[in-house]
Amino acid sequence: MSQDDALKRYTLMVAATASFLTPFMGSSINLAIPSIGRQFGADAYLLSWVATSYILASATFLLPFGRLADIVGRKKIFLTGMVSFGLSSLLCGLAWSIETLIAFRVLQGIGSAMIFGTGMAILTSVFPPQERGKVLGINVAAVYVGLSLGPVLGGAMNHNLGWQSIFYLTALLAVFVLALTLARLKGEWAGARGEKYDYPGAVLYVAGLVFLMYGFTSVESSVWGKYLLLLGVLVLLAFFRHETTFRQPLMDLRLFSRNIAFAFSNLAALINYSATFAVGFLLSLHLQVVLDYDSQTAGLILLSQPVLMAILSPFAGRLSDRVEPRVVASWGMSLTTLGLLVFCFISRSTPLWLLVINLALLGVGFALFSSPNSNAVMSSVEKRFYGVASSTLGTMRLVGQASSMAIVTLIMALYVGRSELSAASAGQFLDAARVSFIVLTVICCGGIFASLARGNVRPAESRSGPVPGGPPQPGGEERNPGD
């Protein structure tokens, strides 16, 4: 095996294993939410923040760390993130209250942002364009393997060993990835070495997103919610204004204004994740609170969706190397919308076989969307924009996930309030779940049009001259052979 082939092999291994970690964390913890609530006596609102705090922190810091990685080196930020993720996972397992658990989940989300702001960028830096769809498909499959094992392994560990064991296992996996990266990934990748970092833009972006998302989720439960929401909007407007005047901005808005494929592919990702991420959270609670299954059994029931994602994602990635990603991804979005529509009618009497079949439908739809959409994003930019494009796509994914949880958190606050999740509040929860699925279905339906509007990626790849945010051109990527 040549040195270049070995680098490709270990890069894919590291990226795929890292991509496995965070979805495994998210999907497994969903099964432990009722147990965490019982141990700490936490109400439905605080329990929703166990999931939301992690996603919000990841979404907030992903773009700033992605840009920093382009300047100082993607491997450096990746390693720092893996250390942070592993340490905070250990602290989550040692948490002594619901408040400290949420705080440690924030730290875990920051580490996750460093990992996802660099993992896909390193992958696309090492592999040539003609192999990109294949490796992105494998990488997305690793995400879905994490989603697949999360409910089963997480549910079983929670049932037999306690919810803390999930965090301890995640910490061990982080140590493995860290060791593999240090031992096998020789080199460094920096597409914008020497450029100035946009510190004012980073501060405005982080503050605006935190105020916006926290304000939205707190509108009903806090008198300050609406003011924080308004402040978040104003700060983000100031951020976008700043980005148009800064020479080397945190977010190059030209990628959106002059690159239709990039803009609408990211919009489609934002909408898709906004519509789908909270499904696992809602169904996990439905199975345990309403139908009274234990976490181990609930995990097995939820397995049908991520298994199909994992199986079909590599196929969808390869298909998008031959067929326009727009076509494949739009079909995936349509199937996902149909699955969400069925869940709008969920009740105590909904048969289990219908839940499983509909979860499988969502799995097929999401697999057909995700890999082709990622391929479209990364194929629509030059090499020097790989880090920003990867971070932007990851930000859309995580902001979408945070938005999905924010929507459900707000609806849960309206219908369940400060009640603990138990059989006594099952009727209120069902009302909240149905309203949530209606909102998510409407959002996903809009995503079909965003996916179709992106246009074709392939004709753009044949253009000879580079344009801002345009397709990959020769050069533009700086790589140092040594650490």
Q: Is residue 483 part of a domain?
A: no
For residue 211, what are the domain limits? Answer: 198-247
Number of domains in the chain: 2
Output the pLDDT for position 315: 80
Question: b/e per residue, 464-475, with b = 16+ CB within 10 A?
Answer: eebeebbbbeee
Return d(Cα 249, Cα 70) in angstroms, integer.
12
Contact indicator for 412, 45 with CB cutoff of 8 Å: yes
Write the Ramachandran bin of 289: left for phi over 0, alpha for psi from -120 to 50, otherwise beta: alpha
Same domain, 137 and 219: no
Q: Is residue 64 part of a domain?
A: yes
Output the pLDDT for position 461: 42
Same domain, 403 and 350: yes
Question: Would the CA dihedral through 410, 26, 155, 362 be positive or negative?
Answer: positive
Same domain, 432 and 460: yes
Same domain, 217 and 343: no
Return d(Cα 60, Cα 456) in angstroms, integer.
30
Q: Is residue 343 part of a domain?
A: yes
Output the pLDDT for position 475: 39
Same domain, 133 and 203: no
Task: For the full predicted model, state whether its pTM sits above 0.85.
Answer: no
In the listed set 206, 224, 247, which residue is the last one of a domain according to the structure?
Answer: 247
Output the pLDDT for position 100: 93
In the listed set 179, 213, 247, which residue is the last one of a domain according to the structure?
Answer: 247
Same domain, 111 and 91: yes
Output the pLDDT for position 130: 67
Output the pLDDT for position 458: 59
Return d(Cα 145, Cα 313) in angstroms, integer.
10
The two beta strands, 188-190 and 478-480, are antiparallel
Return d(Cα 104, Cα 289) in angstroms, integer.
26
Q: What residues of the chain score a pLDDT lower than 70?
A: 1-5, 117, 129-130, 132-133, 147, 185, 187-194, 221, 383-388, 391, 417-424, 455-483
Q: Is residue 474 part of a domain?
A: no
Return d(Cα 151, Cα 146) in angstroms, integer.
9
Return d(Cα 31, Cα 297) in angstroms, integer.
10
Which parts of 277-385 fold into alpha helices (H)?
278-285, 295-301, 304-322, 325-343, 352-379
Return d(Cα 140, Cα 265) in angstroms, integer.
16
Same domain, 90 and 207: no
Same domain, 205 and 301: no
Return d(Cα 314, Cα 142) in angstroms, integer.
10
Q: Which residue has the tokens 């969808």?
A: 316
Output the pLDDT for position 188: 67
Same domain, 138 and 260: yes
Q: Is residue 212 part of a domain?
A: yes
Q: Is residue 473 part of a domain?
A: no
Measured from the Cβ of residue 179, the count of other Cβ atoms closer than 10 Å reads 11
Largest Cα–Cα separation, the chain:
65
Q: Is residue 145 part of a domain?
A: yes
Give every CB contact of residue 443 below 8 A, 6+ residues apart in sequence: 271, 274, 275
Q: Is residue 276 part of a domain?
A: yes
- The CATH number of the domain holding residue 265 is 1.20.1250.20
Return d(Cα 93, Cα 167) in angstroms, integer.
5
Output the pLDDT for position 319: 80
Q: Report the candidate in 187, 116, 80, 197 with the shortest Cα–Cα distance to residue 387.
A: 116
Same domain, 282 and 389: yes
Return d(Cα 272, Cα 369) in angstroms, integer.
9
Same domain, 214 and 292: no
Same domain, 365 and 235: no
Secondary structure class of 464 (helix, strand, coil)? coil
